Amino acid sequence: MTFKGLPTVFLSLILVMPVRADEGMWLLNDPPRQLLQQKYDFELSDAWLERVQKASIRFNSGGSGSFVSPQGLIVTNHHIGADALAKLSTKERDYLREGFYARTPAEELKCPDLELNVLMEIVDVTEQVNAAVKAEMSPEKAAAARRSIMSALEKESLEKTKLRSDVVTLYQGGLYHLYRYKKYTDVRLVFAPEQQIAFFGGDTDNFEYPRFNLDICFFRAYENGQPVKPEHYLKWSKRGPKENDLVFVSGHPGTTNRLETLARLIYRRDHSHPYTLARLRAMEALLRQFAELGPEQARMAAHDLHRVANARKAFSGQYQGLLDPAVLARKEAEEKKLRAQFEKSGRKDGPDPWVQIENTQKKLVSLERPYALLERGDAFWSELFGIARHLVRMTGETPKPNADRLREYRDSNLESLRFHLFSPAPIYPELERAKLTLSLTFLAETLGGAHPLVVKILAGKAPGTRAEELINGCKLIDPAERKRLAEGGVKAIEASKDSMIQLVRLIDAESLRLRKRFENEVDEVERQAYGRIAAVRFATLGRSVAPDATFTLRLAYGTVRGYRQEGIELPFHTTFGGMFERAERQRFREPFDLPPRWLKGKDKLDLKTPFDFVSTADTIGGNSGSPVLNRAGELVGINFDRNRHGLVRNFVYTEEQARHIAVHSAAVLEALAKLYDAESLVKELSSRR
């Protein structure tokens, strides 16, 4: 489309009154009522909002879901359930690959360490947090004061409400909200399809459309040994969405970077993303090689491999976006406007925050890699290392006053941390050795073989030898040993001869020094600067721009609509029939092989059943498993992906081609009834209280 030749009056109309795009991952306590009224003639009622909020579920393993029956039945994606599926599997029975169905409650399988959260309440605590941080404080003092007030607010809330309480930073430091969650830790597996149908097309089709995935999984929440009766749940729509329908996505988008400054994005382009891509490629290559060693190794590595390959594809797409001058030009134009506004305001509240953020990027150049390798743990890709570090630090931190501890050891977080730390989920030494060898090698590649940290960590051995010695000398594979050390406190840790505990102790001082530098010199400075940028934005644009994603509950909306790609009109939904055609064209080669149930059962299915569909609603990773809702608040789909045009959504939202992708609610019923003989499940989804 070109404006050339348009009469000036039209041109200015377009510039003045653009139809607002469906951008935004909106806060539940600040929803876009007016926008929905204007564009879609939809009135967002408090009752609608409360029902959706309390039926929505956060999977702490990294995704979203929702209650879909009065008996605590939960739907999410197969790839979100995958963590639990892998942990429940054994050499003899591979639920991740083969699927699972509990025909009776007694057959449901309890997940070893799955925690679910339901958001009950949001309280704005911005004033309290900001009041604790005085203008005259050094960044170090300010950061400590901020940590301290946040931990205190959380503890107070937990004690008062018994609800999990987290202070969430919004607008990169513009607002602080306290989120209160009801927590479920007795979660049982009800149903999962075979991985081949959940992830049909594998890496090839990931982030693409048209798609053909039954990417669903059902769990049930229990309390006191009984199925939960949730206050709210979503009704399952038998018909699903029609073309051009307004739909909503309610879920927990993980991270976006749309409100970051240009300097920060350029830093990501030139430093963080190349580093991350190199790391992910190394990890993926290792996992593929490990999986090829044999069928059992393939099973052990399957879940890690899926996650890493998914991240690699996502980051590659983001990076292409960052290299696209059009994307950065758009960010530059936005920033220019905001900075002009700041100048106009007389810059009265201190130094230029954009310059401050630019300066922190210069510090990051030398700090980020050692920080990521040591403190974020990139050099130690091992479950046992993560456990060992928590044991060393938890025993050291918990004797301190709550306000002085590292964030993850604050009182309000300890229960969740212990639940995770003492999990009986299996750990595979063979896989641990391979992963640790790779990450120690990557450490040397990144810092150089003569770097003091590398020399210290490798301790005079090649990475493979060192990894072998560390894993073989570690007893933490046994949860009882973890409990023994946790209960024994600092004394037990200091006396421990465990190789992994000793590795943590060897590097922890340096690691914490890097963390302090990061928190004081980068994070705190940025929080304050972004806080002042947010103030300019609020003053100019009000709350018309949603905050970046923070893995907390958000509401997005959009239109069910196909799009044009390379000259072809893609319809808004695919069908079962389309999938069989694609499998055939690919000669049923992996990853286009179908489970025997589907190959044999083809004739039982209505091949015209809609399978997956797309809408313009604004989603990102973390939204996986989110319910897609219609105006009536019924579940019409389960979001599981976005297309490649949507990969740049971390930085900019576009709706010409970018779409999220969801499993159609009718496809689920058809498959459950016709192929899985899951009549009781179908009945439960159709029941009405």
Window of 26-34, 270-278, 615-623, 664-672 that interacts with a second copy by CB under 8 A: 270-278
- Collapse the DSSP code of 231 into the 3-class scheme (helix H, G, I; strand E, B; otherwise coil) and give the result: coil
Query: CA–CA separation, 498 vs 408, rounded Å?
Result: 23
Residue placing its CB nearer to a second copy in the complex, 202 or 571 = 202
293 binds a second copy, rule: CB under 8 A: yes
Is 270 a binder of a second copy (CB under 8 A)? yes
Q: Which of 139, 396, 591, 601 binds a second copy (CB under 8 A)?
A: 591
User: How far is Cα 288 from Cα 70, in angstroms, rounded to an integer?
Assistant: 42
Does residue 441 touch a second copy according to CB under 8 A?
A: yes
292 binds a second copy per the rule CB under 8 A: yes
Query: Closer to a second copy at the Cβ: 202 or 488?
Result: 202
Question: How many residues bind a second copy, per CB under 8 A?
Answer: 49
Stretch that binds a second copy, among 79-87, 243-251, 338-346, 586-594 (CB under 8 A): 586-594
Q: Which is nearer to a second copy, 455 or 539 (CB)?
A: 455
User: Scanning residues 197 to 226, which ones bind a second copy (CB under 8 A)?
Assistant: 202-204
Element (H, E) at 277: helix 273-291
Q: How far is the CB of 383 from a second copy (least distance, A)?
A: 23
CB of 443 to a second copy, least distance (A): 10
Considering the rule CB under 8 A, would residue 81 count as an interface residue with a second copy? no
Q: Find the shortest distance in angstroms from Cβ 329 to a second copy.
A: 10
Minimum distance from CB of 282 to a second copy (Å)?
A: 6
What separation in angstroms does the CA of 290 have from each of 63, 116, 293, 619?
27, 32, 5, 33
Stretch that binds a second copy, among 289-297, 371-379, 422-430, 612-620 (CB under 8 A): 289-297
Residue 29 Cα distances to 32, 41, 121, 553, angstroms: 10, 20, 9, 10
Sheet bearing 635-642, strands edge to edge: 26-27, 554-559, 246-251, 627-629, 635-642, 660-664, 610-615, 573-575
Which residue's CB is nearer to a second copy, number 335 or number 445? Answer: 445
CA dihedral 521, 524, 528, 529 (to 10 degrees): 40
Q: Given the complex with a second copy, which of 350 and 429 has the nearer CB atom?
A: 429
Q: Which residue in 4, 587, 688, 689 binds a second copy (CB under 8 A)?
A: 587
Task: Please identify, among the stretches 65-73, 234-242, 281-289, 594-602, the one whose residues bind a second copy according to the rule CB under 8 A.
Answer: 281-289
Using the rule CB under 8 A, give the single segment among 12-20, 333-341, 419-427, 459-467 that binds a second copy: 459-467
The span from the CA of 369 to the CA of 71, in Å, is: 48
> Looking at beta carbons only, is 71 or 446 nearer to a second copy?
446
- Binding status of residue 269 toward a second copy by CB under 8 A: yes
**Per residue in 595-625, is it b (16+ CB within 10 Å) or e — as a string?**
bebbeeebeebeeebbbbbbbbbbbbbbbbb
Give the containing element (helix H, strand E) for 388.
helix 383-397
Nearer to a second copy (CB atom), residue 323 or residue 480: 323
- Does 596 bind a second copy (CB under 8 A)? Our answer is no
Q: Using alpha carbons, list the distances in angstroms from residue 390 to 453, 475, 490.
A: 21, 15, 12
**Where in 320-379 is the site for a second copy (CB under 8 A)?**
320-325
Measuring CA to CA, which residue among 665, 659, 679, 653 is closest to residue 242?
665
Binding piece for a second copy, criterion CB under 8 A, among 248-256, 272-280, 374-382, 519-527: 272-280
Q: Does 295 bind a second copy (CB under 8 A)?
A: yes
Asked if 464 is part of the footprint of a second copy (rule: CB under 8 A), the reply reads yes
Which tokens is 319 given?
């990076």
Position 544 contacts a second copy (CB under 8 A): no
Kindly tell me which residue out of 45, 131, 159, 274 binds a second copy, with binding defined by CB under 8 A.
Answer: 274
Q: What b-and-e string marks burial along 375-385, b requiring 16 or more CB atoms within 10 Å of the CB?
A: beebbbbbbbb
Applying CB under 8 A, which part among 175-183, 215-223, 292-300, 344-352 lies near a second copy? Answer: 292-300
Q: Cβ of residue 433: shortest distance to a second copy, in angstroms?
A: 13
Q: Which residues of 392-424 are buried (b: 16+ CB within 10 A; e: fewer)?
A: bbbbbbbeeebbebeeebbbbbbebeebbbebe
Closer to a second copy by CB, 467 or 525: give it: 467
Residue 310 has, within 13 A of its CA and on its CB side, a CA count of: 20
The SS3 call for residue 255 is coil
Q: Using the rule CB under 8 A, which residue among 95, 233, 319, 551 binds a second copy?
A: 319
User: Residue 282, interface with a second copy (CB under 8 A)?
Assistant: yes
Nearer to a second copy by Cβ, of 298 and 512: the residue is: 298
- Determine the Cα–Cα distance for residues 362 and 358; give it in Å rounded to an integer: 7
Instruction: Tell me which of 341, 402, 465, 565 binds a second copy, using CB under 8 A.
Output: 465
Rounded (5°) CA angle 291-297-300? 100
Structure tokens at 400: 């301190």
Helix 353-370 and helix 325-344: axis angle, to 10°? 130
Q: Which helix (H) or strand (E) holds 117?
A: strand 116-124
Least CB distance to a second copy at residue 599 (A)? 19
- Both tokens of 634, joined, read 């019924």
| Residue in 312, 435, 573, 660 binding a second copy, rule: CB under 8 A | 312
State which residue, 138 or 320, has the beta carbon closest to a second copy.
Answer: 320
Q: Is residue 190 at the binding interface for a second copy, with CB under 8 A as the rule?
A: no
Query: Among 286-294, 473-481, 500-508, 519-527, which window interacts with a second copy (CB under 8 A)?
Result: 286-294
Binding segment for a second copy (CB under 8 A), chosen from 120-128, 276-284, 377-385, 622-630, is 276-284
SS3 177: strand
Q: Residue 574 and residue 211: Cα distance in Å, rounded?
A: 7
Assign 572 to helix, strand or coil: coil
Residues in Cβ contact with 308 at an 8 Å cutoff, skipping those fewer than 6 apart: 280, 283, 284, 287
139 preceded by a cis bond (ω within 30 of 0): no
Identify the residue among 225, 346, 452, 460 touching a second copy (CB under 8 A): 460
**Which position among 401, 424, 429, 448 is part of the footprint of a second copy (CB under 8 A)?**
448
User: Which DSSP string corresponds to 588-644?
Assistant: T-TTS---HHHHHHGGGS-TTSEEEEEE-----TT-TTPEEE-TT--EEEEEEEE-G
Q: Does 288 bind a second copy (CB under 8 A)?
A: yes
- Closest approach of a second copy to the CB of residue 4, in Å: 20
Q: Which residues 6+ apart lie within 8 Å of 213 measured at CB?
A: 197, 198, 199, 200, 201, 205, 611, 612, 640, 641, 663
- The token pair at 48 is 């609608």
Asked if residues 317 and 648 have their Cβ atoms less than 8 Å apart, the reply is: yes
Q: How far is the CB of 474 from a second copy (least distance, A)?
A: 20
- Scanning 50-58, 62-70, 141-149, 264-272 for contacts with a second copy by CB under 8 A, the matching segment is 264-272
Q: Which is nearer to a second copy, 68 or 444 (CB)?
A: 444
Q: Rule CB under 8 A: is residue 285 a binding residue for a second copy?
A: yes
Give the residue, chosen from 158, 458, 503, 546, that forms a contact with a second copy under the rule CB under 8 A: 458
Distances (CA, A) of 130 to 75, 405, 484, 532, 542: 39, 20, 41, 12, 20
Residues that bind a second copy (CB under 8 A): 202-204, 266, 269-271, 273-274, 277-278, 281-282, 284-285, 288-289, 292-295, 312, 316, 319-325, 441, 444-446, 448-450, 458, 460-465, 585-587, 589, 591
